[in-house]
Amino acid sequence: MKQLKLFIFLLLFSLIHLNAIDYTDNNETKTFINMMYEKFNYKQEYLYKLFKQVREDPTVPHKTTKRIVKPLSEEYRPQGSWDIFSRVHLENNQTELGVEFMAEHNQTLEKAYKEYGVPPEYITAIIGIESHYGKNRGTYYVFDSLTHLAFDEHKRKKFYQYQLQEFLRMCFREQVEPRRIKGSKSGAIGLAQFMPSNYKSLAVDFNNDGKIRISQPIDAIGSVANYFKENGWKKDEPVGVRVSYEGDRFYGLKTGFKHKYERRYLPNIYPRETFEYKKKVMLIKLEKEKYDELWYGADNFYVITRYNHSDYYAMAVHQLATKIKASYHKKYKTKPVNALYASTE
């Protein structure tokens, strides 16, 4: 029996080695380890142990379960770039789950609004788009994935070496085991999918328990609000409004968050609803199959693009937040509202 147990142990040990890569033979890894020692006083012995057993495949194993595959709808769906993008980010029960998330965490969201000035629906929309309200926090082991990106042939390897550095520093500060943390392939972590380099400066301990855990709703909510505030979010200012223009396709002026205009110099472009905003605006173009949808973007729209540098991403956040807010009001209209929407009333 002892021989059988020893055989099983040796077999399992050998399988671990077969599925691991020793990065300590890599000169860049050695340089990285020395830097971590000299700059941050990390123990070299510990880092060599970490990098000696890097998972060859950083994907988190998942149990195979039978799934009922719904047949594809025969109904034609528009194929414009915004049509496709919005389906991916605004459908799949995003609004309904967002309302549930707001109801469950309304006190924390209200606290975040009072402290940072960011409305609950925008915090909720970010968490919805980034992690589907915590249901999809990432399917990769972050340490292993970042190691591959940092030391294999990747065009952004310097960027990922910095992310790996900040990831290990975060693990030390928070006293968590690096090899256990799961996230995205690029190293984004938690409900809010923060990159490691944003963790120290922007993530917050919102429940005051002495730890920062953006894998938990309370700290994730506070961290998203702080991220927006630090990037210039203005309390009670709008994000954007859809506008009318002549024709079906918009040409002639540069669009996107990098370009701003005085409204008086935008002839024949009019907001479709009241828009009390006196600052310069951006023109945000959403390319649909049969026409271009055009929006004014305010400074707070630009703030959302700091989370992801994409007009479409920021617009998806804005539209999802608007849908969540409307659905929340509709569902809970007979219940008292704890000033939850004070920012937009």
Active site residues: 130
**Could you tell me if 191 and 133 are in contact, meaning their C-beta atoms sit under 8 angstroms apart?**
yes
Sequential DSSP letters for 170-184? HHHHHT--GGG-EE-
CA–CA gap between residue 186 and residue 188 (Å, rounded): 6
* 3-class secondary structure, 194: strand
* 3-class secondary structure, 271: strand
CA–CA gap between residue 232 and residue 226 (Å, rounded): 10
**Could you tell me if 294 and 240 are in contact, meaning their C-beta atoms sit under 8 angstroms apart?**
no
Q: Which whole-number Å values give the CA distances from 104 to 43, 133, 166, 338, in the listed order?
A: 43, 12, 32, 13
Give all strands (DSSP E) within 169-231, no chain letters: 182-183
> Using alpha carbons only, what angle is made at residue 210 by residues 141 and 233, rounded to the nearest 5 degrees?
80
Ramachandran angles phi, psi of 53, nearest 5°: -130, 65
What type of residue sits at position 267?
P
- Considering all CA atoms of the chain, what is the largest pairwise distance in Å, rounded to the nearest integer? 87
